[in-house]
Every structure is written in C-alpha cells, then in structure tokens.
Amino acid sequence: MKKLILAAALAVSAVAVQAKDIVDTAVGAGNFKTLATALQAAGLIETLKGPGPFTVFAPNDEAFAKVPKADLDALLKDKARLTAVLTYHVVPGKVMAKDVKAGEVKTVQGGNLTVATAGGVTVNGARVIATDIAASNGVIHVIDRVVMPK
C-alpha cells in the first residue's frame, strides 16, 4: 500500500512540474497583464495554448505603456488589427537565444521581423531584455516595446 501511495505521489509531482504553455507562463510571470488582455481581446488564447511550437517576442507591461493610451485603446477595440499586431510577435518553431541569427524571420502574421545581433539582440529595433523563458509549447523572449507590422 505504501508503494502505491508513493507511486501516486510521484506521478502527481511529475505532472505538477511540467512546463506551462506560453499563455500560462506569461500570465504566471505577472508582468504581461496587457499582453494577456490583448490576447483575450483578439481571441488568440487558444491558439497560443495549442501545440506550437512558437517563439514569442513578448512585450511586457512597460513596453505596452510606451504606446499612447488612445492608440492602445483603439487597437484593443479593433480585433483584426490587434490580431495582426499580436501574431507579428510570434514566429513558428522554438528558437532559443543561442540559436538566434541576424536577418529576416517570417512571423505567424505573414510579415517579416528584422533580427539584429550586434550589441545585443533586437527585433525591429525592440531590445530583447530577457530570453529563453521556456514553455511546454515554445519559448518566450521579452522585448522592451511593441513592434508594429508594416
């Protein structure tokens, strides 16, 4: 009986330590409240909870605070434009910091991000300020501003 209880406890522990998906990881971090609100408004929660893998260049709350309030409010009310902006921050596949190379990279939105590596990594001029936040379906790299598709 003790072996059965121990086996059950180990099984529960193994499930508990599994990585969370991108959405749960971002929400759990506590500094992506605006991003979580935007993902909800755009209807992208289920997509980013999907199997992926995804690489997300995630603007934190400070990055969203740099967007003028009227512009951000308008963006949150325009689902099509909001979806385009948010999916512009997502790249198919899991790209860890050590694998980042300078150049153009295709986004889920369909446009290209320009990645530069000289003097620190930037994405369309936004500085990557934290890397390799692992999720069960990809990875998050934090950027210091919101990037807009052309």
| pLDDT at 18 (0 to 100) | 57
Express each pLDDT in 105-117 by its tens digit: 999 999 999 999 9
| pLDDT at 107 (0 to 100) | 96
Q: Which of 146, 98, 100 is nearest to 125 (CA)?
A: 146
- List, in order, residues 6 or more apart from 24 with CB less than 8 Å away: 49, 135
Stated as kind and residue range, the H or E segment containing 2 is: helix 2-16
Q: In the CATH scheme, what is the homologous superfamily, with its name and number, of domain 20-143?
A: FAS1 domain (2.30.180.10)
- Mean pLDDT, residues 41-69 taken together: 94
Express each pLDDT in 81-91 by its tens digit: 999 999 999 99
pLDDT grade, residue 12 (50/70/90)? very low
Where are any strands of DSSP class E within 9-149? 54-59, 90-92, 103-106, 112-116, 122-123, 126-135, 138-143
Rounded distance, CA 92 to CA 129, Å?
Answer: 21
Higher pLDDT, 5 or 148: 148
Residue with tokens 């959405």: 23
- Residue 140: how many other CB atoms lie within 10 Å: 22
Q: Which of 9, 90, 105 is nearest to 48 (CA)?
A: 90
Domains of the chain, residue spans: 20-143
